[in-house]
Structure formats: structure tokens, C-alpha cells
Amino acid sequence: MSQVFHAQHTDAAFEPFELGKVQWLRRPADNGNDALSSGIWKITPAEAPEPFDLPIDQDETIYIVSGHLRIDVKGADTFDLTTGSMASLSKGAMTRWTVLEPTIEFFVYS
């Protein structure tokens, strides 16, 4: 089992995701840990032209490398996340995401 996961951020490493594309650093279940995964997600307004609902199925922490997302949390606040912004979403949160600019996001699911 690997103790260290390493990747170089390159366009060739991205693969299709539910919306947009993802480059995995650590895939779900790597090293026997089903809950922990991480990577880089790329999305454009053309790939998500309308806001989309996203129930948070596990804790998720994100860092916006570049771009602009809006996340509305049902019954709570709205967050405009731009380059350099971070957020941590708890499992069970009901969210609606709007992609306002082409965005690159580093994420960790745990």
C-alpha cells in the first residue's frame, strides 16, 4: 500500500466527472480508505449553464485555485468563492452550486 500520493497538475491527466473534469490525487478507496479522496476539479459555465443541486454526501473541503463559484446552502448562507477562497462543507448539507467563471478547485472528501 502506498503511503504517499503524488500527481503533477496537467491537462492530460483530467478525466470526465459528473460535471466538468477531474484529476485525482487520491481516488476513493485508495489505500483502503473509502472516505478519503482528493483532486482537482475543472468546470466552466458552458458545462454547467444552470445552477445545480448537490447534496453533500461526505465532508468536503475546497480551495478555489482560480475562478468563481456560488454555493447556496439550504437554510443557511450563500458563499461567493473566488480565487484563494476556501470552504468546508459538512456531510448532510443541501447545496446549490452556480458556476460563474471557469473554475479550478482543489478538493478533499473525507
State the pLDDT at residue 4: 85
State the pLDDT at residue 42: 98
Instruction: Count the Cβ atoms, other than its own, within 10 Å of residue 98.
Output: 17
State the pLDDT at residue 9: 82
pLDDT digits over 42-71, tens only?
A: 999 999 999 999 999 999 999 999 999 999
DSSP per residue over the chain, as a string? --S-------GGG-EE-SSSEEEEEE-TTGGG-SS-EEEEEEE-TTTS-S-EEEE--S-EEEEEEEEEEEEEETTS-EEEEETT-EEEE-TT-EEEEEEEEEEEEEEEE-
State the pLDDT at residue 106: 98
- Positions in the chain whose pLDDT score sits under 70: 1-2
State the pLDDT at residue 1: 62
- Burial bucket for residue 74 (CB in 10 Å: 0-12, 13-18, 19+): exposed
